[in-house]
Amino acid sequence: MKYYILFGPPGAGKGTQATAMVEKYNLHHISTGALLRKEIAAGTELGRLAKGLIENGNLVPDEVVEGMIENEFNTVKGIDGFLLDGFPRTLPQAEALDNILKKSSEEVTATVSIMIPDEMIMERIKGRALKEGRADDASEDIINNRIATYHAQTEPLIDYYKSAGKYHEADGVGTIEEIRERIFSIMDKF
């Protein structure tokens, strides 16, 4: 099984590119953000816990997302691998992922990072807000907090995966097709 991590700041275009990646490489897409929004919409206990955190631009507790990931690994069959989108987002989550995979003698295949400058994050998220109406896209303050959360908690993962020799970066500035080709040329190596 292949285990790809799709990495990048909020608004980098991970969701957009994920669709093409799962199709071409027969992967199952796991977006922790989408799974959490589903829980919120269903009004579950987990959804109620997640709602306040997400809508202020904060992360939900590591154990919550780790449980969701392990559950997906154990239930989805008939694919060549998984595409993790929005997970891991903290160092403890990255370590937990390594431990979960180790139980079945598997490991992370590669981290594919879509990189855009901070100035572009705000612009892209505001564009998406008009189309999707996500509560965590609704105000500049929330978006700024998500950018700060990304730099403080998620960006250190770049060094974690670089040290493991698993970090690959695609420039996220360009057309959707150009970025897709950059990503495919990375994934074709595995």
Q: Which of 100, 99, 72 is nearest to 84 (CA)?
A: 72
Catalytic status, residue 124: no
Q: Which of 2, 126, 134, 166 is catalytic?
A: 134
Among 27, 30, 59, 96, binds ligand ADP (CB under 6 A): 59
Sole window of 50-58, 94-102, 103-111, 159-167 interacting with ligand ADP (rule: CB under 6 A): 50-58
Catalytic status, residue 89: yes
Q: Which is nearer to ligand ADP, 5 or 187 (CB)?
A: 5
How far apart are CB 190 and ligand ADP at their closest, in Å?
23
**Distant-in-sequence, close-in-space partners of 157: CB < 8 Å, separation ≥ 6:** 7, 88, 89, 90, 91, 94, 111
How far apart are CB 110 and ligand ADP at their closest, in Å?
18
Hunting for tokens 């991970």 — which residue is that?
A: 14
What's the CA gap between 190 and 185, in Å, rounded?
Answer: 10
Cis peptide before 88 (omega within 30 of 0): yes
Is the Cβ–Cβ distance between 106 and 44 less than 8 Å?
Answer: no
Q: Which of 51, 124, 146, 182 is catalytic?
A: 146
Positions touching ligand ADP (CB under 6 A) are 10-11, 14, 32-33, 36, 53-54, 58-60, 65, 86-87, 89, 93, 136, 146
Residues forming the active site: 14, 89, 128, 134, 146
